[in-house]
C-alpha cells in the first residue's frame, strides 16, 4: 500500500464542498447544502465549522493541500444539480449558496499505513487543485498535525491554538532565536509579557535537560529603556545580572552600577558625543585618541604626557615668533610678550622637574638654567609696575629652540601609534580635551577646537554622566565582557541621561557584536547570544544618510543594522519589541524571519506589517486590530504554518512592570499612594549625597 494512500470512504464522510475557482493566492469553494452550519460532528469530535481562520483540506496526489478560511458568505447561484433526477421540465431559479475563500498554506502528508498513519506538514504547495475537487474537514489528529511543530527541538510550549482545538503550540529555540525576531503590538496587547515569557519558558525547558547541579550556559542581553524587566527572570537556573544607574542603598545588593566607560567608544561614537565637525575637529580628535591609547599601552604616565604637551606647545610658540621676525622678540616696555613668555616657560620647567624622575629631572633643570640665564640677561627692571626686557637676539631665540628640541627628542619622542583610535584600550578620559588643545596649538589650529574641547569638558563634568562613562580602575575589557555577555544581563536604561542613551546602546551592541566576531575567529565556533531591544522604535529609527554630522541616533541604528545583516554568522540574533513598526529601520525589519504579532491598530503599522510578513496568510492579518490581550499571530521561520496563538499566562511575579495604572482604586483609596515630595526632590537634586560628603 502506498504511503500516501488515503481512506477514501472516510474522506467522503468529511466532504463539505467543491472547488469553484483556483488562483495561486486564493481558492474559492462552494459549500454543499448538507455541509455543517456551525458545528461539525463527522470529524470524531465536535468542530466549529465554518469559521474564519479555520482549516480545511483538499486531497491531492501529494497528500492534502491545507487551506486557511479567509472569507465566508452567501451568493445567489443556480440551484445545485440533483443527481438521480431528470426534472428537465423544471426551471431552477437563483438559489442562495454558501461559499468560502481559502488561502493555500502548505501540504499535509500522510505517513505510514492506514491503520497506523500519522501526518506531517510541509511548507509550500506542491500541487494546486482543479475545479470540482472535493474540500474536506480535517480530523482532530490532522488538525493538531497542522498546528503542532514536530521538529527535533520543538519542545518549548508558548501557548495553544484556539482555532485548532486548543492544540499545543511549540517552538524550536534554534529556529526562534537563531534568526532575528520581531514582536510587535500596541501598548497593553501583551507584547512585553510575550518577550519575557518566551525567554523564561525556553530556559525553564532547557533546565530540565541539565544534570543535577549544572547551570544553563545561556546569553541574553536585555536593553530595557523603561525598567520593566527587573524581576521578569528571577529564579531561573542561570546567572542573572541587573545593571542600573544611581543606585540607592537598598539597591546595592540587587543591582550592579551600569558602566560603559568612554575608552570603550570608537572614534565615531566620540565624534557624536562631542559634535566634532568633519574638516578640522574630527582629525584632531582621532589623533588624540590614537596617542592617548598608545601612551596607555606604553605605560606612559599622565605627568610625562602633560609635560610633553607643555614642551611641544612652548616650542611651537617660540618657532612661530622666530618665523615672524625680530618684532616678535624685541623689547617693548609695558608689553614684554616674549620676556614674559620665557618666564612662563621656566616656571613650567621648574614645576615638571619636581614632578618627574631622573634622568628627565636633570635635563629639565639644565634647560631651566639655560633659558633662565638668557631671560635674566635681558631683564630691564620695572616699567609702570610691569617687568620689561631689552631686545632678544636671533641667536638667543634659536639657542632656546634648539635646547627644547633636543630635550623633546631625547626624552619625549614622537608617539609611534601602536593603537588605532577605535581600539577599546583604557586611557585617562579627562585628559582628552587638554590633549586636543595641545595638538591644535602645535598645528596652529587652536581657534578651531575651542567649542569642541568646551563641549567635551562640559559633558565629562556632568555628574549624571561621569558615573557611567569615566574611568574605573576595576573595569577592564575582559571583566566588562565577562560581566555583560554571560547569563542574562538586564540593563536598565530608565535613568540614563537622554543625551547619551542612544550612544550607550550603540556602544553596548557594537562591542558585543565585535566580541562575538573575534570569538568565532579564535575558536571557529559560534557563541549563541541574543540581544533584546525593548521599545525598538526609539533606538532603531529610520534616518536620512546625507549629513556630515554623526548623530548618536544614527550610530545606534547603524549598529543594529549591521547586526541584522551579519549577526547570524557570528551567533548574534536580535529580539525586537516595538509598538510602532512603521518608525523602525526598514533594513532591520526586513531581516527579521519570525514575527509574533499582537494587536496593532494604526493603519500605517498594519500596512507595513502586511508588506513585510514572509508568508501568504490571507485574511489572518485582518484580525490584528481586534486581537484580545495574550492573543498573537505567530508566523515565519519558527513555525511551520502561520497560526493564531493564545499565549501562556505568565505568573504575576514574572511579568514585566507594564501594567495599566489603577486610577479608580487610587482615587477611592482602595490602594494608598503616599508621596514624600521632599525626599524625592532631595534625591533628584543629589542633596542627600552632598550632606553625606559633608
Q: Concatenated DSSP letters for 240-271? A: EEEEESS--GGGTTT-EE----GGG--HHHHH
C-alpha cell at 138: 480535517
Lowest-confidence pick of 102-111, 329-338, 684-693: 684-693
pLDDT for 86 = 52
pLDDT for 464 = 80
Mean pLDDT along residues 104-116? 79
CB 383 within 8 A of CB 345: no
Q: Give the DSSP letter of residue 161.
A: E
Helix (H, G, I), strand (E, B) or coil at 335: coil
CB 499 within 8 A of CB 465: yes
Is pLDDT at 117 greater than 80 in this prediction? no
Which residue is associated with the grid cell 585618541?
289
For the chain, give every domain's residue range: 8-143, 177-261+472-543+550-598, 267-455
Whole-number Å distance between alpha carbons of 576 and 567 = 14
How confident is the prediction for the chain on average, in pLDDT? 84
Q: Which CATH number fits domain 177-261+472-543+550-598: 3.40.50.300, 3.10.620.30, 3.40.50.2300, 3.40.630.10?
A: 3.40.50.300
Mean pLDDT along residues 644-662? 86
Which residue is associated with the grid cell 469553484?
20
pLDDT for 694 = 46
Whole-number Å distance between alpha carbons of 632 and 620 = 11
Long-range contacts of range 375-378, CB-CB < 8 Å, 24 or more positions apart? 375/339, 375/342, 375/343, 375/346, 378/331, 378/339
What burial class does residue 622 get, using C-beta atoms within 10 Å of its C-beta: 0-12 exposed, 13-18 middle, 19+ buried? middle
**pLDDT tens-digit map of 350-367:** 888 887 778 888 888 888
**pLDDT tens-digit map of 640-651:** 888 889 999 998
pLDDT for 1 = 37
Whole-number Å distance between alpha carbons of 65 and 641 = 13
Place 36 in a pLDDT band, splitting at 50, 70 and 90.
Answer: confident
pLDDT for 603 = 87
Is pLDDT at 583 greater than 50 in this prediction? yes
Whole-number Å distance between alpha carbons of 392 and 376 = 11
Give the residue ranges of DSSP H helices in 298-449. Answer: 302-324, 337-355, 360-378, 394-411, 432-442
C-alpha cell at 420: 588605532
109 or 687, which is more confident? 109
**pLDDT tens-digit map of 272-314:** 999 888 788 999 999 889 888 887 766 666 677 778 777 877 8
Q: Which residues contact 641 (CB under 8 A, 6 or more apart)?
A: 66, 105, 106, 121, 123, 146, 147
**pLDDT tens-digit map of 418-461:** 668 888 988 888 889 888 888 887 777 878 888 999 999 998 88
**pLDDT tens-digit map of 240-264:** 999 998 887 788 888 999 999 999 9
Q: Which of 325, 337, 322 is nearest to 378 (CA)?
A: 337
Q: Which of 325, 257, 211, 260 is nearest to 502 (CA)?
A: 260
Q: Which of 616, 549, 564, 589 is nearest to 282 (CA)?
A: 549
Whole-number Å distance between alpha carbons of 144 and 161 = 9
pTM, entire model: 0.80
Is pLDDT at 182 greater than 90 in this prediction? yes
C-alpha cell at 665: 482604586
pLDDT for 88 = 52
CB 472 within 8 A of CB 259: yes
CB 310 within 8 A of CB 347: no
247 or 574, which is more confident? 574
**What percent of the chain stands above pLDDT 90?**
34
Is pLDDT at 8 greater than 70 in this prediction? no
Amino acid at each position: 500500500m502506498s504511503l500516501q494512500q488515503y481512506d477514501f470512504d472516510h474522506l467522503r464522510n468529511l466532504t463539505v464542498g467543491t472547488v469553484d475557482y483556483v488562483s495561486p493566492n486564493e481558492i474559492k469553494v462552494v459549500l454543499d447544502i448538507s455541509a455543517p452550519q456551525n458545528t461539525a460532528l463527522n470529524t470524531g469530535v465536535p468542530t466549529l465549522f465554518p469559521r474564519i481562520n479555520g482549516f480545511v483540506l483538499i486531497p491531492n496526489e501529494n497528500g492534502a493541500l491545507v487551506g486557511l478560511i479567509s472569507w465566508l458568505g452567501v451568493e445567489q447561484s443556480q440551484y445545485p444539480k440533483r443527481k438521480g433526477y431528470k426534472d428537465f421540465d423544471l426551471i431552477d431559479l437563483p438559489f442562495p449558496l454558501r461559499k468560502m475563500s481559502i488561502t493555500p498554506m502548505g501540504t499535509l502528508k500522510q505517513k505510514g499505513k492506514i491503520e497506523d498513519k500519522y501526518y506531517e506538514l510541509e511548507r509550500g504547495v506542491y500541487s494546486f487543485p482543479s475545479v470540482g475537487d472535493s474540500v474536506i474537514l480535517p480530523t482532530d489528529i490532522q488538525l493538531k498535525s497542522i498546528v503542532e511543530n514536530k521538529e527535533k527541538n520543538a519542545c518549548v510550549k508558548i501557548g495553544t491554538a484556539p482555532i485548532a482545538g486548543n492544540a499545543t503550540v511549540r517552538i524550536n529555540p534554534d529556529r526562534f532565536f537563531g534568526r532575528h525576531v520581531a514582536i510587535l503590538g500596541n501598548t497593553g496587547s501583551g507584547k512585553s509579557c510575550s518577550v519575557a515569557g518566551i525567554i523564561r519558558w525556553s530556559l525553564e525547558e532547557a533546565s530540565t535537560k541539565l544534570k543535577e547541579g549544572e547551570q544553563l550556559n545561556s546569553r541574553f542581553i536585555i536593553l530595557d529603556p523603561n525598567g520593566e524587566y527587573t524581576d521578569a527572570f528571577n529564579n531561573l537556573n542561570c546567572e542573572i545580572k541587573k545593571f542600573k544607574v544611581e543606585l540607592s542603598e537598598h539597591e546595592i545588593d540587587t543591582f550592579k552600577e551600569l558602566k560603559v566607560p568612554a575608552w570603550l567608544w570608537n572614534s565615531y561614537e566620540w565624534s557624536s558625543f562631542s559634535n566634532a565637525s568633519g574638516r578640522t575637529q574630527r582629525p584632531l580628535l582621532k589623533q588624540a585618541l590614537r596617542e592617548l591609547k598608545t601612551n596607555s599601552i606604553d605605560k606612559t604616565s599622565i605627568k610625562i604626557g602633560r609635560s610633553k604637551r607643555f614642551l611641544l606647545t612652548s616650542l611651537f610658540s617660540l618657532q612661530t615668533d622666530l618665523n615672524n621676525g625680530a618684532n616678535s622678540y624685541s623689547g617693548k616696555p609695558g608689553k614684554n610678550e616674549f620676556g614674559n613668555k620665557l618666564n612662563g616657560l621656566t616656571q613650567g620647567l621648574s614645576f615638571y622637574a619636581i614632578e618627574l624622575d631622573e634622568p628627565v629631572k636633570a635635563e629639565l633643570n639644565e634647560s631651566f638654567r639655560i633659558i633662565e640665564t638668557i631671560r635674566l640677561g635681558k631683564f630691564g627692571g620695572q616699567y609702570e609696575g610691569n617687568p620689561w626686557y631689552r631686545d632678544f637676539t636671533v641667536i638667543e631665540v634659536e639657542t632656546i629652540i634648539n635646547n627644547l628640541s633636543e630635550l623633546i627628542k631625547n626624552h619625549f619622542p614622537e608617539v609611534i601609534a601602536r593603537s588605532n583610535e577605535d581600539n577599546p584600550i583604557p586611557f585617562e578620559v579627562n585628559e582628552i580635551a587638554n590633549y586636543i588643545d595641545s595638538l591644535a596649538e602645535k598645528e596652529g589650529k587652536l581657534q578651531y577646537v575651542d567649542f569642541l574641547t568646551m563641549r567635551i569638558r562640559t559633558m565629562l563634568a556632568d555628574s549624571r554622566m561621569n558615573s557611567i562613562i569615566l574611568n574605573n580602575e576595576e573595569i577592564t575589557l575582559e571583566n566588562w565582557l565577562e560581566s555583560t555577555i554571560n547569563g542574562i544581563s538586564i540593563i536598565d536604561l530608565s535613568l540614563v541621561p537622554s543625551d547619551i542613551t542612544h550612544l550607550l546602546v550603540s556602544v553596548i551592541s557594537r562591542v558585543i557584536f565585535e566580541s562575538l566576531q573575534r570569538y568565532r575567529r579564535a575558536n571557529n565556533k559560534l557563541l549563541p547570544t541574543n540581544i533584546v531591544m525593548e521599545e525598538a522604535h526609539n533606538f532603531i529609527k529610520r534616518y536620512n544618510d546625507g549629513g556630515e554630522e554623526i548623530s548618536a541616533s544614527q550610530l545606534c541604528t547603524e549598529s543594529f543594522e549591521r547586526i541584522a545583516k551579519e549577526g547570524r554568522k557570528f551567533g548574534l540574533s536580535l529580539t525586537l519589541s516595538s509598538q510602532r513598526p512603521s518608525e523602525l529601520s526598514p533594513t532591520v525589519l526586513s531581516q527579521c524571519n519570525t514575527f509574533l504579532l499582537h494587536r496593532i491598530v494604526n493603519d500605517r503599522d498594519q500596512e507595513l506589517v502586511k508588506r513585510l510578513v514572509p508568508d501568504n496568510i490571507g485574511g489572518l492579518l485582518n484580525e490584528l486590530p481586534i486581537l484580545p490581550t495574550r492573543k498573537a499571530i505567530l508566523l515565519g521561520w519558527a513555525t511551520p504554518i502561520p497560526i493564531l496563538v493564545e499565549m501562556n499566562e505568565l505568573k504575576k511575579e514574572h511579568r514585566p512592570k507594564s501594567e495599566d495604572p489603577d486610577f479608580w482604586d487610587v482615587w477611592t483609596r482602595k490602594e494608598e499612594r503616599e508621596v514624600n515630595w521632599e525626599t524625592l526632590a532631595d534625591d533628584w537634586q543629589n542633596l542627600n549625597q552632598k550632606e553625606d560628603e559633608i
